[in-house]
Amino acid sequence: MSFVLGSHGVVLPDEGAVTIKALRAYVIDSKAAEEAAGGGGDPHAQAHGHWIVDTPIANPMSGYAKYKASRKSWGIEAMGTVVAEVELTNGQMGHGLSVGGEAAAFIIEKHFARFVEGQDPRNVELIWDQMWRSSVNYGRKGLPIQALSAVDLALWDALGHLRGEPVYQLLGGRTKGRLPVYATSTRPDLSKAMGFCGGKFPLPYGPGDGDAGMEANIQRIKAVRASVGVEYPIMIDCYMSLTVPYAIELARRIDREVPGGVKWLGECLMPDDYKGYAELRAKVGHLVMITCGEHEYTRYGFRQLLEGGCVDLLQPDVTWCGGLTEARRICGLAAAYDIPVVPHGSSVYSFHLQYSQPNSPMAECLIMSPEADRIVPYFGDLFTGEPLPSGGFVTLDPAKPGFGLSLTRTDLRRPYPRPAWAAGLGTKEVPDQVDWVAQAAKIPAPVWSAEPAPTAVSSAEPGLDVDVAQRSTHQPEEDPAQAPRCKGEPVEPKAAADSDAREQKFLTAVEAILAARPKKCMAITLLSNKLQQDFKKDFRKYVHPDAEEYFRKHFAITAHGSSMFVGIGEDVSVDNTPRTGDRDRNRDRDSVRDEDGNADGNRDSAKGRESDEDSGYSPPPSPPQKPRKAKPQDPSPADRSRDRDRGRDKDVDRDRDRKRSKSSDSDHEPSVSPPRKPQMGKPQDPSPADRSRDRDRK
């Protein structure tokens, strides 16, 4: 037996709660401005001469001579920064950022905004799940998840401002008094001098550089080790540039030739090479830690790394992997495998996560000064208030709400603005929030067009629960006069008048339903005459027994699945009182039942008529009806018993004949049975079945 969960109900903000007024997406106005700002959300958006773009660093494109000299040559910074801004109805703001530029801004404004605006900012899990599920068809990884991350971080920032608390307190409080930090740059010796607990540097050469490149890498690692001493932890960033054989050889040579070795090799392979990571760790994991995760997305990607035994340490980027909401799940998943989590970059966004997670022992600080000789804000001058490491530790101020940042740039550009009236449409028109009576009055006259009719939804009056009142968009074949019209085609005056009358009947009928049966109606739909006739044939099959008598006299009601459809016949007056002709037809219809016991009437409902009182119409005499043949009745118990006895007699005769045939075949002598003479004897007493049948006949 399976257990099936139903769909999620609509989650509405609490009455009087602060909600999200608007979601906006900005980009830095130009590449020059982004470089002048220090990169913003993209650390690679730096001017030439910066170590992060112009130092020889092995990468996925370094095997191509054309793109080997600089990572900017193949567009590592092409996407740029995107800033998501959440504005609450009380005027407070929240900001998050990622990479993706205008492409991410498009996704945020054109797609994700509908799940955010009008929502309660505390519902971060709900908003995240809806953004992710709605974009999974085009965005399982990469840019759409980065756009989602920016929105998620902005929500957490706004929520922190709303509650007046730092984000780490919203995540469960802090697990450490201060957070140790290691540095990433080309100068681990300077990192040690600045007090960092370790230094990570990029690997210069990859497999495309051959044996000479391997030898140059070993010499570089030896030089770094000599500059910091044997005891100082050093790590290597391979940035997805190696192959499994190359990484195995590199790890073994480091172990043999470099005193003190290295602590870990990071991102050796392409992110999707889970099997390769598992093989690499199995062969050299006892020599050096294998880490990755910087370019992995959502908990499902990290689950593959954990279940496959691919890593000794995870490095998700909070601004890329799915935001703080998903990064928290990743930490919980890793804790089940006793794998530590040390996020990549992301500055204050990862600091708050790590403050709250016991399995996150230290943070990364990407040294963003061009010569890697001083500590500067990770986000450049985009924000103020960014906490910076000091003496190898970072400390978060408990008095600063949210992430403690303030957006300072005024040259941000919103590439895809939306009109003010569009804000919040994602949650305004939802069940129990719209006055269905007022909305029903706004429904245009029922002249069928190519576009579906609008839906009106109930606001649940006391004692009533009417979820949907709408016009059916399903239409059977109609007369040419009622054929669908093209959008914008003029409506004839007579058709308009008929439509107005039907509209009045629709509203009056709805009021009568609510007054008569204050119970839940799943949907109220004005059906066409032809569709009513089809439904009325099986009327009792669908109507609730408590309401059958009332509705059978006034309306045609059917149900389909979990929806109840109420069709209003043309022969029902506006005051819902059947006319004289209607009473006669109802009486005739009730007198005739089909073999299922259902009413087989209402076949002659007129088309396009108005009530007697409104139009002065007097119904013509009904045409003579052909006599109906009596329908066969079900057999009585006595008849069924008699039929069973006859069946048993036939079975006995059939068995006797079969035995005689077998005996004649065994003797190999064909024999012909003489014809049996009719036996004359005394009449036998009638069987109990015959006596019962005779009594029934009498």
Active site residues: 344
* Angle value at C-alpha 205, between 201 and 211, nearest 5 degrees: 135
326 closest CA partner among 308, 305, 343: 343
CA angle 186, 384, 128 (to 5 degrees): 90
- Sign of torsion, CA 390 395 397 402? positive
Q: What is the CA radius of gyration of the chain?
A: 40
Q: What angle do CA 616, 619, 625 make, to 5 degrees?
A: 175
Laid out side by side, the sheet with 93-99 consists of 93-99, 81-88, 20-28, 412-413
Task: Find out whether 460 and 468 touch, Cβ atoms under 8 Å.
Answer: no
Report the chain's terminal Cα–Cα distance, integer Å.
Answer: 53
Judged by DSSP in three states, 33 sits in: helix
The one-letter amino acid at 137 = N
Look-up: residue for tokens 């299922």? 596
Handedness of CA 385, 386, 388, 393 (dihedral sign): positive
| Whole-number Å distance between alpha carbons of 455 and 47 | 54
Helix (H), strand (E) at residue 469: strand 468-471
DSSP code string of 183-205: EESS-HHHHHHTT-S-EEEE---
Burial of 40 (0-12, 13-18, 19+ CB in 10 A): buried
What letter would DSSP give residue 78?
Answer: S
Q: What distance lies between CA 303 and its chain's CA centroid? A: 20
Rounded Cα distance, 72 and 44, in Å: 8
The separation between CA 6 and the C-alpha centre of its own chain, rounded to angstroms, equals 14
Measured in residues, the chain has a length of 698
Cβ atoms 270, 244 nearer than 8 A: no
Q: What is the CB neighbour count within 10 angstroms for residue 520?
A: 11
Beta partners for residue 200, in sequence order: 184, 235
Q: CB of 410 within 8 A of CB of 420?
A: no
The rounded distance, in Å, linking the Cα atoms of 111 and 298 is: 19
Q: Measure Cα distances from 616 to 259, 385, 498, 501 in Å.
A: 107, 79, 15, 14
**What are the φ/ψ torsions at residue 166 (nearest 5 degrees)?**
-70, 155
Q: CB neighbours of 280 closer than 8 A, spacing ≥ 6?
A: 244, 247, 248, 251, 268, 269, 290
Residue 508's nearest CA partner among 441, 563, 604 is 441
